[in-house]
Amino acid sequence: MNTSPSQLIFEQSVPGRRGCTLPKLTPAEAACALRIPNKYLATKPPELPEVSELDVVRHFTNLSRKNFSVDTHFYPLGSCTMKYNPKICEKIAALDGFAGLHPLLPQLRGGGMLTQGALEVLYETERLLAEICGMDAMSLQPMAGAHGELTGIMLIAAYHRDRGNRKTKVIVPDSSHGTNPASAALAGYEVVTVPSGPDGCMDMAAFEAALDDQVAAIMMTCPNTLGLFERQIHRIAELAHAKDALLYYDGANLNALLGQCHPGDLGFDVVHINLHKTFATPHGGGGPGAGPVGVKAALIPFLPISVVVKRDDGTYALEYTREKSIGYIAPFYGNFGVILKAYAYLLLLGRDGLQAVSENAVLAANYIKEKLKPHFDLPFDHTCMHECVFDAGRQAARGVHAIDIAKALIDRGFHPPTVYFPLVVHEAIMIEPTETESKEDLDRFIAAMIEIVEQAKANPAAFAALPVTMPVTRLDETKAEKNMKFRV
Amino acid sequence: MPFIPHTDAERAAMLSAVGARKISDLFADIPPAFRLQALRMPEGLSEIEVYERLHRLSHRNAHELTCFLGGGFYDHFIPAAVDALASRGEFYTAYTPYQPEASQGTLQAVFEYQSAICRLTRMEVANASLYDGGTALFEAAMMAVRATGRNRIVLDSGVSPIYRVMLRSYTRNLHVEFEEVDVAHGQSNRARLQAAITDQTAAVIVQNPNFFGAVDDFTDIAARAHSRGCLVIASVYPVSLGLLKAPGDMDVDIVAGEGQSLGLPLSFGGPYLGFLATRLALVRKMPGRLVGETVDRQGRRGYVLTLQAREQHIRREKATSNICSNEALCALRAVIYLSLLGKQGLHDLAQLCATKAEYAKQRLSAVPGVCVKRSAPTFNEFTLELPIDASEVVARLVDKGIAAGFPLGRYYKGMENYLLVAVTEKRTRAEIGHLAEALESVL
């Protein structure tokens, strides 16, 4: 960890310093005068940094050393599936034949004959993901999980419109990700929130009361954000379908179910998955991700364009004419570079590897749950799936809150779990270890958590000053809101 | 199994700690009727096999064609330092910086990215990134709808046709109406644009340079819009801002755009980078993450995610957008790229592209039967009129090793004989000459 203060790159500017070289114009080119009238031109160049290449390299290298990351630290951030990102996938995505491919090339000859390799990647990835989800077709276009949600709800809206249904509402459980209600609202729906029951699963009585003819869809995460399998899911699907409402699968937690069951068999009609969670593509400090959507047959006509198809002669093509399609939701074919990494991961793991992922992820989460159970409140004491959610209520009563425990973990070299989510657990600590962390690392984490609990009893006042090993101590968020300094 | 470290002995120890006999017991909540035996897909492959297979597939793509394709997505050179820095695991294997003390690297880099975008566009605040230029334009349109309480949008047809169809897809279930104003001779139709803006208009959306490559100054449109309480949204090509008048200097209210040209590979359409910048007065209507400067307990400067009350994880269905994951690593590439190019470098680059494009115009218009549309000044992309169907011509030029440009008939009826040609700093005089000769030989 680099704890030295860092100037901004702009503050390192020295007038006249350069960080790049550009080719010279040939005399013939230079003889061509620019024909842009002055009124269209800037009066001076934008105030970008004036620094050398080494200045830039040293600056960003030093900044990188102020981050926790999967490559450097255990990162059990619940609901985010921070598993190891294989290096071979990065190498493949950087191959010239993929990275250097212009997205308009398919339009230059025979509906994709210039990009057969890339189209095969898309087609095969769709097929593999459709099998994993138990869906009839996929679209790889959504560029993140929430974008997949929005696309999925737009598909559902198109389905209802096509059937002449007048539906105005979408149901979400109170334990859902914030993106679910936000996506439903952005697709024009009113959001109805249904509470969780005492077992951590959706309250069935409340659900049935909310389920009327106006409901277009129910958005469920399974396992849910408490790490619990929704035990009534098939019943929920039956009730929904009886009202011609569709069941939407938020695939944020698909890591738990890989090869164990098909979400499609559970009754889900539309799914989105997160390639940057379940399929090991890196999170990039917040993105890019990819959020493919999968659908059952009845929704295929509505999928976004373009659609990748395989011709009878074994070649691949893009189809642009789909009368009932929701239209274009991405400029081209989605985050191709991310899809490519996920495809490589799927090929590496294969069917047994994927099943081993869910088995080992669930085992690791249960192991942590059992080991920490004596030390923290466990609001829903049941076999968990890929993550477990504790409540730091006991510690909070002594003045040590979930956020303080998080900061204490940072000082011990662990990225903290997700805290204060799901909202239904007051002092939530949501731990997702993933399948790629060794038992030694799990044990070290467990030991650190127990040590923190002991310290919370002995000296709760000490926590307010944590963390102390980072480049900065706790930051004043209120001041940031008030100052509104978003740039230099 | 790949990437799973546990030995059988470790698994047995963990199972025993959990109190389960076998791993399948942990999945007992899944009703037996739905339990799978095995996925219907192949066994896993070794790293060598996967690399060989995908390496072979990568060669079944025509990436080696000399690229004159643009249309909003450009074949610019990427300095080696961009890849070297952005491929540091500390950056690319981190998550959204929810724990600021352990994420100052990402947070400061995003703050610098926001600053660079503001300086480039001459706006007051930029967010931490959106998915791409098209979704950024949609988010900008929704900002304007929220800010004005109106739902009519005037859309210049010089805006990328890809983005115009995306805007229509996204607003299908919302109460937003578009009025499209056709360009005249490749440039925005002033009289019709002015007339379309009324007291009911939430925003007018324009693009600079427009899809045909024409550059413009929208100051007059902004004046008209503001006199009617309407906002102006401009989609811009960031590299052009090394030379062209910035949207902030045209009184534009919201700037959206595609950042691919700032150090991102073309990568067959993504991941790309949507940028969004606006005036401070509109910041609370803005979607997406925003990094702000603050201090720690010792008064040291630091950075945090801020104004989060706009966002889905706090406001749920009342949020300004549903966006969560964005394109942070692409934004990092952009700020590294802009730092390397620097103040003079970006200007020189823009000048280089524009001059080469002028040379290409001169060279190509000398080909018999080929005519350069001269009605408007252009930056690095321009429209050629050919004597025959442009899709026919580009197909023939592929055999000569050239991706000659984009046939406009694909998006604009009646423009079948028009070709959109882009020139970047990577195109040499020899390549431009080759294009001219090849074009002459196929006509």
Q: What is the pLDDT of residue A117?
A: 98
* Cβ contact, residue pair B169, A288, below 8 Å: no
Q: How far is A335 from chain B (nearest CA, A)?
A: 4
- The pLDDT tens digits for B81-140 are 999 999 999 999 999 999 999 999 999 999 999 999 999 999 999 999 999 999 999 999
Residue B10: half-sphere exposure toward Cβ, Cα within 13 Å:
15
pLDDT of residue B374 exceeding 80, the answer is no
Domain(s) of CATH 3.90.1150.10: residues in chain B: 66-76+342-442
Angle in degrees, CA A187, A191, A195, rounded to 5: 145
Hey, is the C-beta of A37 within 8 angstroms of any chain B C-beta? yes
pLDDT of residue B373 exceeding 80, the answer is no
pLDDT of residue B162 exceeding 90, the answer is yes
Q: How far is A185 from chain B (nearest CA, A)?
A: 6
How many Cβ pairs closer than 8 A exist between chain A and B? Answer: 700
CB distance A289 to A267 below 8 Å? no
**Residue of chain A nearest B374, judged by CA positions:** A35
In chain A, what residues touch B392 (CB-CB under 8 Å)? none
In chain B, what residues touch A200 (CB-CB under 8 Å)? none
> Which residue is listed with tokens 């893009």?
A318
**Residue of chain A nearest B430, judged by CA positions:** A26
Q: How far is A397 from chain B (nearest CA, A)?
A: 23
Q: Which of A78-87, B283-292, B371-380 has the lowest mean pLDDT?
A: B371-380
Q: What is the pLDDT of residue A109?
A: 86
CA distances from B170 to A186, A355, A377, B81, B135 (A): 9, 37, 44, 37, 9
B339 pLDDT band, cuts 50/70/90, is very high
In chain B, what residues touch A439 (CB-CB under 8 Å)? 5-6, 10, 13-14
Give φ, ψ of A249 to 5 degrees: -105, 115
Question: What's A34-81 look like in SS3?
Answer: CCCCHHHECCCCCCCCCCCHHHHHHHHHHHHCCECCCCCCECCECCCC
CATH number of this structure's domain A90-347, picked from the four choices 3.40.50.720, 3.40.640.10, 3.30.565.10, 3.10.20.30: 3.40.640.10
pLDDT, mean over chain B: 97
**Residue of chain A nearest B95, judged by CA positions:** A285
End-to-end CA separation in angstroms for chain B = 58
> Which residue is listed with tokens 């002028």?
B358
Percent of all residues in chain B with a pLDDT value above 90, rounded to a whole number: 96
- The enclosing H or E element of A431 equals strand A428-431
In chain A, what residues touch B187 (CB-CB under 8 Å)? none
pLDDT of residue B322 exceeding 90, the answer is yes
CA distances from B346 to A24, A44, B41, B238, B257 (A): 14, 12, 49, 10, 17
Q: How far is A356 from chain B (nearest CA, A)?
A: 7
In chain B, what residues touch A251 (CB-CB under 8 Å)? none
Question: From the list B99, B122, B173, which residue is nearest A188 (CB)?
Answer: B173
Q: What is the pLDDT of residue B259?
A: 98
Region B294-320: mean pLDDT is 94
| Cα B193 from Cα B216, distance rounded (Å) | 14
In the stretch 423-482 of chain A, residues with CB closer than 8 A to chain B read 435-439, 465, 467, 470-477, 479-481
What CATH superfamily is the domain A356-477? Aspartate Aminotransferase, domain 1 (3.90.1150.10)
* Cβ contact, residue pair B30, A261, below 8 Å: yes
**Residue of chain B nearest A287, judged by CA positions:** B327
Task: Mutation target for A interface from B7, B88, B95: give the one with most A CBs within 10 A.
Answer: B95
pLDDT tens-digit profile, chain A (488 residues)? 999 999 999 999 999 999 999 999 999 999 998 989 999 999 999 999 999 999 999 999 999 999 999 999 999 999 999 999 999 999 999 999 999 999 999 999 887 999 999 999 999 999 999 999 999 999 999 999 999 999 999 999 999 999 999 999 999 999 999 999 999 999 999 999 999 999 999 999 999 999 999 999 999 999 999 999 999 999 999 999 999 999 999 999 999 999 999 999 999 999 999 999 999 999 999 999 999 999 999 999 999 999 999 999 999 999 999 999 999 999 999 999 999 999 999 999 999 999 999 999 999 999 999 999 999 999 999 999 999 999 999 999 999 999 999 999 999 999 999 999 999 999 999 999 999 999 999 999 999 999 999 999 999 999 999 999 999 999 999 999 999 999 99
Q: What is the pLDDT of residue A33?
A: 87
In chain B, what residues touch A405 (CB-CB under 8 Å)? none
In chain B, what residues touch A477 (CB-CB under 8 Å)? 294, 304, 306
CATH fold group of domain B66-76+342-442: Aspartate Aminotransferase, domain 1 (3.90.1150)
Q: What is the pLDDT of residue B266?
A: 98
- The pLDDT tens digits for B417-440 are 999 999 999 999 999 999 999 999
Three-state secondary structure call for residue A311: coil
pLDDT of residue B375 exceeding 80, the answer is no
* Cβ contact, residue pair A51, B342, below 8 Å: yes
| Cα A76 from Cα A416, distance rounded (Å) | 7
In chain B, what residues touch A25 (CB-CB under 8 Å)? 352, 355-356
Question: From the list A37, A97, A476, which residue is nearest B295 (CB)?
Answer: A476
* Cβ contact, residue pair A475, B304, below 8 Å: yes
CATH fold group of domain B80-337: Aspartate Aminotransferase; domain 2 (3.40.640)
**Residue of chain B nearest A182, judged by CA positions:** B317
Q: How far is B335 from chain A (nearest CA, A)?
A: 10
Q: What is the pLDDT of residue A21?
A: 97
**Residue of chain B nearest A365, judged by CA positions:** B18
Q: What is the pLDDT of residue A110?
A: 80
In chain B, what residues touch A487 (CB-CB under 8 Å)? 111, 114-115, 118-119, 124-126
* Cβ contact, residue pair B19, A357, below 8 Å: no
In chain B, what residues touch A474 (CB-CB under 8 Å)? 101, 296-297
Question: From the list B25, B53, B293, which residue is nearest A483 (CB)?
Answer: B293
Dmax over Cα atoms in chain A, in whole Å? 80
> Hey, which bits of B12-120 come out as E strands?
66-67
**Residue of chain A nearest B362, judged by CA positions:** A32
Q: What is the pLDDT of residue A160?
A: 98
In the stretch 149-168 of chain A, residues with CB closer than 8 A to chain B read 149-150, 154, 157-158
* Cβ contact, residue pair A371, B242, below 8 Å: no
In chain B, what residues touch A287 (CB-CB under 8 Å)? 96, 129, 271, 325-330
Question: From the list A23, A353, A383, which residue is nearest B1 (CB)?
Answer: A353
Q: Could you tell me the residue ranges of all domains in chain A?
A: 9-64, 90-347, 356-477
DSSP percent split of chain A into helix, strand, coil, nearest 5: 40, 10, 50
**What string of DSSP letters covers B218-286?**
-HHHHHHHHHTT-EEEEEE-GGGGGTBPPGGGGT-SEEEEE-TTTT---GGG-S--EEEEE-GGGGGG-
| Cα A16 from Cα B71, distance rounded (Å) | 34
Dihedral sign of CA atoms B367, B369, B375, B379 in order? negative
Contacts of A326 (CB under 8 A, 6+ apart): A151, A154, A155, A157, A158, A302, A303, A304, B169, B172
Domain(s) of CATH 3.40.640.10: residues in chain B: 80-337
Task: Mutation target for A interface from B262, B267, B300, B332: give the one with most A CBs within 10 A.
Answer: B267
Question: From the list B291, B395, B403, which residue is nearest A486 (CB)?
Answer: B291
* Cβ contact, residue pair A487, B126, below 8 Å: yes
